[in-house]
Amino acid sequence: MARLAQTAGLTDIQEEILATVRTFVDKEIIPHAQTLEHGDTYPADIVDGMKEMGLFGLTIPEEYGGLGESLLTYALVVEQIARGWMSVSGVINTHFIVAHMLKQHGTPEQKQKYLPRMAAGEVRGSFSMSEPELGSDVAAIRTRATKSDAGYTINGQKMWLTNGGTSNLTAVLVKTDEGAEKPHQNLTTFLVEKPEGYGEVVPGLTIPGKIDKMGYKGVDTTEMVFDGFEIAADQVLGGVTGQGFRHMMDGVEVGRVNVAARACGIAIRAFELAIDYSQQRRTFGKAIAEHQAIAFKLAEMATKVEAAHLMMVNAARLKDSGQRNDVEAGMAKLIASEYCAEVTQESFRIHGGYGYSKEYEIERLMREAPFLLIGEGTSEIQKTIISRGLLRDYQSRG
């Protein structure tokens, strides 16, 4: 029945994984999403189901107990999950980014220490770049690690950690004194272990509580305060300081494909709701889908869903082929998140007054879509990345 957002050339294993996830989403996520979201309730049963399916280890290599699947498989899984409820994709996204950073940049000891337990969902990852005074301008990070007898002491405040309270391993980007001229060369990623929960969870490290958000509920987003927090030197990702910016940018590059996939998922759901409602609701003696103004909206929405999906798939495949995908991931994230906001808005309009009622799913999607315009870099930042890449490749000979 589903004609939109199909992907050509998938392997049998990819098809099988997607079919399993699609069934899980239809049976275990969509029927519960409204109640859990309105109650701002953590989807514990759904998360357990994802653990059982092995989704926490989807991209972790088989030698560490994962399924060893590609970024494309992951992105298509995320698209399905976000179609059910975006917050559930938020639970695995930061975990996936941290696993990717460990896989690509961790020392052999760090990989052995964390990846098997991450694949099992016992260790759950979050990542932290943003601070109260900066998000886009990552190189301006102020939280600082200084050398101490134990290794390093960290002081400062981080902001907007998705899964900050429900993770037990956070990759944190902080300033170290490398003496490098460029600010981004003075940044280091630390692997901070902590128990789940809120308050002063270990000496010198406080997770103050959940930030009350407009949407994206159920999943926790928190601050993280370091006050004389001691950490061993072997918790530096990759074992070498001054490489943190590069590590994090690699992480958010795959994260951007994932945000694009989430936007595709929400847009698909908004379209599904609109095309269904528009055939049921009647005005002036016929279904509203028979009014050309509404039929044309559906046509435009479907075209946007399709275009965003294809660009997301393209960016994922490029990364899987071993090439850098900064421009393509930026383009996919830009178009998918902007189209998602537009498609969701159109679906809302098609629902008339009922779209404003909390009984209808579109009300939730309307509050979720705006986050995708911001997370993993705003649209303005994507345009900066895209134009920089293009100017690099199309240098004028004049």
Ligand X SMILES: Cc1cc2nc3c(=O)[nH]c(=O)nc-3n(C[C@H](O)[C@H](O)[C@H](O)COP(=O)(O)OP(=O)(O)OC[C@H]3O[C@@H](n4cnc5c(N)ncnc54)[C@H](O)[C@@H]3O)c2cc1C
Residues 292-321 that bind ligand X (CB under 6 A): none
Q: Which of 109, 338, 376, 380 is catalytic?
A: 376
Instruction: Calculate the alpha carbon distances from 344 to 92, 93, 213, 238, 305 in Å.
Output: 23, 22, 19, 41, 11
Closest residue to bound ligand X by CB: 135
* Residue 303 CB, nearest approach to ligand X (Å): 26
* Residue 383 CB, nearest approach to ligand X (Å): 8
**Residue from the set 20, 70, 130, 155 that interacts with ligand X by CB under 6 A:** 130
- Would you count residue 185 as binding ligand X (CB under 6 A)? no
Q: How far, in Å, CA of 148 to CA of 154, rounded?
A: 10
Binding span for ligand X by CB under 6 A among 103-111, 156-164, 285-293, 346-354: 156-164
**Residue from the set 59, 80, 89, 94 that interacts with ligand X by CB under 6 A:** 94
* Residue 353 CB, nearest approach to ligand X (Å): 29
- Would you count residue 380 as binding ligand X (CB under 6 A)? yes
- Tell me, by CB under 6 A, how many residues bind ligand X: 22
- Would you count residue 170 as binding ligand X (CB under 6 A)? no
* Residue 322 CB, nearest approach to ligand X (Å): 26
**Residue from the set 360, 375, 382, 385 that interacts with ligand X by CB under 6 A:** 375
- Would you count residue 222 as binding ligand X (CB under 6 A)? no
* Residue 374 CB, nearest approach to ligand X (Å): 5
Task: State yes or no: is 376 an active-site residue.
Answer: yes
**Residue from the set 73, 89, 162, 186 that interacts with ligand X by CB under 6 A:** 162
- Would you count residue 374 as binding ligand X (CB under 6 A)? yes
Q: Which residues are part of the catalytic machinery?
A: 376
Residues near ligand X (CB under 6 A) are 94, 127-130, 134-137, 160-162, 213, 216, 221, 371, 374-375, 377-378, 380-381
